[in-house]
Amino acid sequence: MSVKKRLAYLSAGTLALVAGSGLGLAHLFTTEYRSAASDAGIIPLPTLDKDDYNARMLALAHYVAPVIATSTATSTTSASTTPPILPFSTATTSVSVEGKLWPVATVYPNVGAILPFKRIVAYYGNFYSKGMGVLGEYPTDTMLAMLASTTEEWAAADPATPVVPAIHYIAVVAQASAGKEGKYILRMPDDQIEHALALASRINGIVFLDVQVGKSTLEHELPQLEKYLRLPHVHLGIDPEFSMKFGNAPGTVIGTFDAADINYAASYLAQLVQQNALPPKILVIHRFTHAMMTNYKKIQPLPEVQFVIDMDGFGSKAKKFGTYNRVVAPEPVQFTGIKLFYKNDVRPPADGLLTPAEVFSLTPSPIYIQYQ
């Protein structure tokens, strides 16, 4: 049967059903099917809104188009009346402004990408521990009510960017003791991970599974989470702080990931996206020192994976601004995030949580906001 004839069997109802299933239509049909659908007059498949993507990336970078003189000596034309002419190196490369680090010129994501169309507001932690973050510190209903209030605050601060709530759960926890495998980690049981999934379902949100590899590796740990990472609403966080490449116990020194480690994680996620017809995954990499992430220029952008470098430092507002501007902003990958600490950011000499307006003032503005 020809492509056109096969498409003829797909009714509008069938396409709508598939679209609503979260299966990632960009991977369900080939270019050949798209062309045949157009020729046959069938409902077109979703495509990425590149204009909206570009505009949002420019906004995150606080890009202001240069004022261009007109033919008269007394009048000028600014960005408010004339959109900037944006340089593109290829048809698949996203917006890049010459001479600027941000926005980053990288591949467009596949259709269904969350970023930069929405901002993520995540609560972080582990259900077994009150000291690792807000997830384990409060009763479930109290914590979810706090998350709802926090997401409303961010949505009100930036009405043009919808907010997605997230449960960022530490699924592999670094620990001081070697354990049976000598890897200095504790993997969370399935019922705890499934509790995280259930909470996200209650709030129509997404899940991040965070991995602290200790003396293990991403190659060893990620496949053990695959049944969860195959789900369309489950994403990944990796924490270089607890990647002990040089034999130290976790917590005694700050660890590190190289671009090779990050590229492995991204390639692993991309393969799951391709094999399971999923929308793009998000990969969050925590960072507060230069040495935590080495060879950033070798990180390979992928249409199936969106990279977020999450500024993980705590302390005073001035210190947080300084770390962000010194460590994260000068080494662009794709998107940025910031972690806000309910306790450590308010404990003297720290002077309080950053407000949404203060976070927005950073260049680029973080699109992923995490509370611990």
For 326-337, write each residue's pLDDT tens digit. 999 999 999 999
User: Please, which pLDDT band fits residue 10 given cuts at 50, 70 and 90?
Assistant: very low
pLDDT at 41: 62
Stretch among 27-41, 97-111, 192-206 having the lowest mean pLDDT:
27-41
Residue 4 has pLDDT above 50, yes or no: no
pLDDT at 328: 96
Dihedral pair phi/psi, residue 6, rounded to 5°: -65, -40
Average pLDDT, the chain: 85
Per-residue exposure over 361-372, b if at least 16 CB sit within 10 Å of its own CB, e if not = ebbbbbbbbbbb
pLDDT at 44: 76
Stretch among 41-45, 170-174, 210-214, 354-358 having the lowest mean pLDDT:
41-45
pLDDT at 93: 58
Stretch among 5-9, 214-218, 222-226, 281-285 having the lowest mean pLDDT:
5-9
In the chain, how long is the greatest CA-to-CA distance?
78
* Placement of tokens 């020194």 in the chain: 253
DSSP string, 14-45: HHHHHHHTT--GGGTS-HHHHHHHHHHTPPPP
Domains, the chain, ranges and CATH? Answer: 3-40 (no CATH), 119-371 (3.20.20)
pLDDT in tens, 204-248: 999 999 999 999 999 999 999 999 999 999 999 999 999 999 989
pLDDT at 87: 36
Residue 319 has pLDDT above 60, yes or no: yes
pLDDT at 132: 93
pLDDT in tens, 124-150: 999 999 999 999 999 999 999 999 999
pLDDT at 8: 33
Residue 344 has pLDDT above 70, yes or no: yes
Stretch among 12-21, 161-170, 213-222, 343-352 having the lowest mean pLDDT:
12-21
Report the candidate in 337, 339, 264 with the shortest Cα–Cα distance to residue 305. 264
Mean pLDDT computed over 142-163? 97
Question: pTM of this prediction?
Answer: 0.84
Mean pLDDT computed over 193-197? 98
* Placement of tokens 């972690």 in the chain: 339
pLDDT at 97: 82
Q: DSSP alpha helices (H): ranges in the chain?
A: 3-8, 12-20, 31-40, 50-60, 134-137, 140-157, 190-202, 218-221, 226-229, 259-276, 317-323, 356-360
Percent above pLDDT 70 for the chain: 81
Residue 40 has pLDDT above 80, yes or no: no
pLDDT at 64: 85
Q: Assign 3-class secondary structure to 291-316.
A: HHEECHHHCCCECCEEEEEEECCCCC
pLDDT in tens, 74-123: 444 444 443 443 333 334 456 778 778 999 989 999 999 999 999 999 99
Most confident of 72-76, 91-95, 247-251, 256-260: 256-260
Report the candidate in 115, 22, 154, 124 with the shortest Cα–Cα distance to residue 307. 115
pLDDT at 99: 78
The amino acid present at 275, given as its one-letter code, is Q
User: In this structure, are residues 185 and 175 in contact, taking their beta carbons and an 8 Å threshold?
Assistant: yes
pLDDT at 15: 32
